[in-house]
Structure formats: structure tokens, C-alpha cells
A = this chain, B = another copy of it.
Amino acid sequence: MTKNKVGVEIPEEYVSKHGVYEGELANINTYEESSRTIKPVKPRDEKLLDSIHDAIVKTGLKDGMTISFHHHFREGDKVLNMVMEEIANMGIKDISIAPSSIANVHAPLIDHIKNGVVTNITSSGLRDKVGAAISSGIMENPVVIRSHGGRAAAVARGDIKVDVAFLGAPSSDAYGNANGTKGKAPCGSLGYAMVDAKYADQVVIITDSLMPYPNTPISIPQTDVDYVVVVDSIGDPKGIASGATRFTKNPKELLIAEYAAKVITNSPYFKQGFSFQTGTGGSSLAVTRFIREKMLEEGITASFALGGITNAMVELLEEGLVEKIIDVQDFDAPSGLSLGRNENHYEIDANMYASALSKGSVINQLDTAILSALEIDTDFNVNVMTGSDGVIRGASGGHSDTAFASKMSMVISPIIRGRIPTIVDKVNTVITPGSSVDVVVTEVGVAINPLRQDLIEHFKDLDVPQFTIEELKEKAYAIVGNPEPIQYGDKVVAVIEYRDGTVIDVVKNV
């Protein structure tokens, strides 16, 4: 066992394989970028194949290989299940899958794992059924959890080497020029898919909307694509892109949002040309609304807004309050639509969004980011992966990436949820190290990280109740009592990589 910089004991097996977390910048080194094997496509060659079966045959996919998918279709995705079913039917085994995330809709994976079709998984997240199955210990090899930036970095450095990427695309021409803004089931940005397209040896575009050549705008270019398959449906549009996200009416969420907005608008970063990222939860969206009012009041505009994009951001763009949206992923239909028609709404890939190993990601230019939490501990460490029962149900996402890179990161959360404290002595799973978290915002007030004495000084007259993180924890425990310790088993079911590829935590079976 080796204790890492957040005080977590890491078993030697993973220490030797990944290294341990030693601080945000301790393992950011010069490296040789991963390359791919290219099979040139000649002038009269065609890429269009009849079926996913044919694509699997053509790519030569076989036992032991690594394949990837993207999660832009969220709970509407049909691509992963279609491809995995065909792989299973063809008798191929021992496949490593590297989707950018895994949703509830991917529950059929559980059988593929049990049948030996899937033997390794890396993902940002694992939801309900699949998460619970993994936590119960159905896999021999632990899942490797990576942040969105960490996954892009792992692909760029070759830690993840994708043999075949199966990339669903809302529209594509027969030569593989694909985008997410046209077709029957648009998802908006293809930011996560774009990374796989650049680095995978072989890329299969799976679409339900074949367009005339050349299909533009081009998110994934023909030069990254080997084959194109047309299917009846890549996904359920309702699951892919919900309607416009609505603002919360929950008083607790509104209070958190009000406090968070006060922190931002009174911070040294709130000035003409500032930049921000907010999430998609109820409080996050409300923050956006409060910031908007203050921007109008002070005559300030933001240079850009970043991240997973929602309708709330698009409205600011259209109002002229945000000059540009930089978009790696869309969370609702209006934002996908905006990407397709507004030249100031700009698509980027996950590498440019958040990779610590790139020549500079957009989050490095970010003033402030609002992030969520399942748990926050008194060292400011944040868990967004495991529930209070220790079961995997969340996603690493861009949490550790933006928390570190932005100039002021804010984690917002109620101090309790139901009968469970959110502010705790020790989080079950560390996703983001406390040294990356600047301000915790709750409905009772805020706690500023003592590492940020500059902010403590700056905010000393802020019109929001201020506490130490210990005081917030005491308030939580006072309401719901001390949480019972979780009874874990001995098996490591997930290895949590920090964004630099080192191990920041492991999750054991429950």
C-alpha cells in the first residue's frame, strides 16, 4: 500500500501500474503523443457498409481488442447496445470497452460482463444498474474511472489505445463527414467522439441520417473515418436531448444559487470579459439566472461560457451577455440547435476542453466553475462517484479538471440530502482533491478553503454567512447524526484515476 497525497492507501498493484496522485501538477510531463495505424483509402474505395456485423468483420475486431463509444446520446443511446449485442452474437470475447460514459440504458452490459464478452471497462461514470452490478463485484478487473479531461489525456498518451471506435453520429455522408446538429436525432456537440476519431486505429460511423456529400459542418472529418453504417435509429431523441431544462422552484436550491451568485459577482473575477462554467443541476441553472441579473445591472458581458451547455447559456448568448459558448456537450435540445446555427456557439473536443496533457485546454482560461458534489469532506475533497452506501452511481465528468484549472472553483451542495450528510469527515471516494476546491456553497452559507487566504480576505465583508468546513460538517451531523461507516468487501471494483493518470482512490465492493 502507498498513501497518496489525499491520504488514501493505494494497493501496490495499482501503484505500479498507474502511479499515485502526488498533487495536481506533480505528474504533468512532456510525452510522445499516441499515434494510430492508418489504412489509406484510395480514390475508388467506398466506406459504406451494410450492417454493424459487416463493420465488425471489416475492421477485423477480435478477442482482446479495445473499442470505444461516446455518451452524447445519454439515456437515448442505442449504439453501444447494438454493437455489443452483435459482438456477443459473433462469439467475440475479452473486449475492453472505453465509452466516454455509461448510462442506465446500457444495463445489457451486465450480461456481456457475466458472459466474458466484456472484461475491461474504462468510463467517466456508471449509473444505477451497471454501477450497482460493478459495485457488487461482477468483474475480475476493476473499472478505471477517468475524468473527461483525464480520458482525453489517456487517449492522447496511449494509456487508452482504441482499436475500433464505434461512433454514433446524428448525420454523416457516405465518406464519414459527421456532425451532431443535423439528422433525425441531433445531440449537438460531438466533443467526446471527436477525440476517439482522431486517435483510434479504425473508426466506424453509425448513423440514421445519411446526407449528400459533403456533409457540413464537419465535427468528425472523413480523414478520421474508415467505415460508415446506416441503421434505422441511433437512439431515442427524447433520451438524447430533453426539452429546455427548467429552473428550480426548490427554496433550498434557490438559496444555494443565490449564495453562489453572490460569491461570483463579488469575486475579483467578475468583471468585463469574465468566463464561467455552470452545471446542469437545479441550483446551477438558477445561478446562471442570478448572474444574468447582475451582469445587466453592472453592464458586464462574459467573454465565454464553457462546458456542458444548456438552454440557460444559449439564452445569455442570444441576449449578448455571453459573447461565445465553447461547447463540448449539450444537455438539451435548444443548445444542440443553437450549436448548429449560431457562429458564436463553438464546438470543441474533450482534449481542448479539459486535458491536462494538452498544449492548453479551455478550462485553463476559465475564471470560475460551479460544480456539484455527492459528498465533500473537511479536507475539501469531493466525491461525485459513490453514494452514501458506497455503491457506484455517479460520474467523474469534468469535476477534477475544472476544479483545478479554473481560477475560482465552487462546489455547491445542500449540507444534507434526506437523512444523509453531504459534508462529512471523509468522503467515500475522492474524485477531486480538496486543494483544487476554493469555495463550498451550501444553503446555510459558504466555506472558503484556507489555502485561498486571498479569497478569505477578499470576501470578508460578503453578505453571505461564512463558516469553516468543519462547522458546516457539524451543522450537518447535528441534524442527521454521524453517518454509519460503510462495510466494504476486499475486492477493488474501481480504480479512480486523477486527471494526470495517477490513482487518487479505489472503490471496493459492497
Contacts and interface: CB of A to CB of B under 8 A. Distances in A.
Interface of A: 25, 28-45, 47, 156, 175-176, 203, 212-214, 216-218, 221-226, 273, 303-304, 324, 326, 343-344, 346, 348, 351-352, 355-365, 404-405
A364 B217 contact: no
A305 to B, nearest CB: 11
Given A304-B214, A352-B221, A360 B31 contact: no
B365 A39 contact: no
A337 to B, nearest CB: 15
A454 to B, nearest CB: 14
Nearest to A361: B223
Given A224-B359, A352-B223, A359-B226, A214 B40 contact: no
Given A33-B37, A40-B28, A216 B346 contact: yes
Contacts of A42: 25, 28, 356, 364
A225 B364 CA distance: 14
Nearest to A347: B218
Q: How many monomers of this protein are in the complex? A: 2
Contacts of A214: 303-304, 324, 326, 346, 362, 365
Contacts of A45: 360, 364
A218 B225 CA distance: 22
Contacts of A343: 216-217, 343
A156 B40 CA distance: 11
Given A33-B36, A346-B216, A359-B222, A41 B364 contact: yes
A228 to B, nearest CB: 11
A37 B42 CA distance: 30
Contacts of A356: 40, 42
Contacts of A47: 360
A135 to B, nearest CB: 33
Given A35-B35, A352-B223, A41 B358 contact: yes
A344 B223 contact: no
Contacts of A156: 38
B33 A38 contact: yes
B364 A212 contact: no
Q: Which of A32, A33, A217, A352 has the most CB of B within 10 A?
A: A33
A365 B176 CA distance: 12
B212 A273 contact: yes
A397 B422 CA distance: 64
A161 to B, nearest CB: 12
A354 to B, nearest CB: 11
Contact of A176 (B29, B38, B225, B360): B360
A223 B360 CA distance: 6
A468 to B, nearest CB: 26
Given A25-B42, A29-B40, A31-B40, 8 more contacts: A38-B358, A38-B359, A43-B363, A45-B360, A213-B365, A221-B348, A223-B351, A223-B358
Given A175-B360, A365-B175, A344 B30 contact: no
A175 B226 CA distance: 33
A470 B360 CA distance: 59
A315 to B, nearest CB: 20
A7 B100 CA distance: 53
Contact of A30 (B31, B40, B216, B222): B40
A112 to B, nearest CB: 29
Q: Which of A41, A356, A359 has the most CB of B within 10 A?
A: A359
17 contacts: A29-B40, A30-B37, A33-B37, A38-B156, A42-B356, A42-B364, A45-B360, A212-B273, A214-B304, A214-B365, A216-B343, A217-B343, A221-B352, A222-B360, A222-B362, A223-B360, A224-B359
